[in-house]
């Protein structure tokens, strides 16, 4: 227990001592099962940021990029230099699959780590690499009616728990 508290205090000290970016950012991130467009802005402290994102995904049964996702991320820069930033973040959002079989808007929670590498003299462009864990699960009902039979089943929609994405950011 003492090691965990020490580790948490050490990470917080690193986070409050880091030099973070002082710019707003538009980002586009892609992983194998979703595409996100985000807007990031600094929050209360110079090394704390918030991001709102929307996107499309393909995690339901039809395997097309037609699902909708939206949410917010809050992060803290754990380590930064003039060209590199490593941040820890938490995610809260919703994932809504789009198919004709069921409706299951799944709440989404998670956490992760993000690496940002600034490109160019003025740090206008950046490369983003994100990885982490997300949890999203929702039960749904499917019903089938005919003249002779009525069938109702219960299923579970789950979002893929691990994610890895690569993206581009424009800083202004």
For tokens 């994102």, the residue is 53
Tens of pLDDT, residues 5-49: 555 555 554 544 444 445 799 999 999 999 999 999 998 878 899
Q: Which residue has the tokens 């490109």?
A: 119
Confidence of residue 113 (pLDDT cuts 50, 70, 90): very high
Q: Return the half-sphere exposure (C-beta side, CA atoms, 13 A cut-off) of residue 105.
A: 6
pLDDT of residue 1: 58
- Kindly report, residue by residue over 48-80, the tens digit of the pLDDT: 999 999 999 998 888 789 999 999 999 999 999
Task: Please tell us whether the domain made up of 2-171 is placed in CATH 1.25.40.
Answer: no
Instruction: Transcribe 134-154 into DSSP letters.
Output: EEEEEEEEEEEE-SS-EEEEE
- CA–CA distance, 124 with 121 (Å, rounded to integer): 8
Count the neighbouring beta carbons within 10 Å of the beta carbon of residue 52: 14
Q: How confident is the model at residue 122 (pLDDT cuts 50, 70, 90)?
A: confident
| Cβ-Cβ contacts under 8 Å for 6 (sequence gap 6 or more) | none
Give the span between the Cα atoms of 164 and 94, in whole angstroms. Answer: 18
**pTM over cut 0.85:** no
């Amino acid at each position: 227990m003492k090691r965990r508290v020490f580790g948490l205090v050490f990470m917080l000290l690193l986070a409050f001592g880091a030099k973070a970016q002082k710019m707003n950012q538009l980002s586009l991130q892609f992983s194998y099962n979703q595409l996100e467009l985000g807007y990031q802005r600094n929050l209360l402290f110079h090394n704390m940021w918030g991001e709102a994102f929307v996107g499309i995904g393909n995690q339901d049964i039809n395997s097309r990029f037609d699902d909708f996702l939206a949410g917010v991320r809050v992060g803290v820069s754990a380590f930064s230099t003039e060209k590199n930033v490593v941040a820890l973040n938490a995610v809260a959002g919703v994932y809504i699959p789009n198919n004709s079989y069921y409706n299951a808007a799944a709440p989404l929670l998670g956490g992760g780590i993000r690496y940002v590498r600034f490109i160019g003299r003025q740090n206008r462009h950046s490369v983003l690499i994100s990885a982490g864990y997300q949890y999203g699960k929702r039960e749904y009902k499917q019903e089938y009616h005919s003249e002779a039979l009525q069938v109702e089943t219960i299923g579970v929609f789950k979002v893929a728990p691990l994610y890895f994405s690569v993206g581009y950011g424009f800083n202004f």
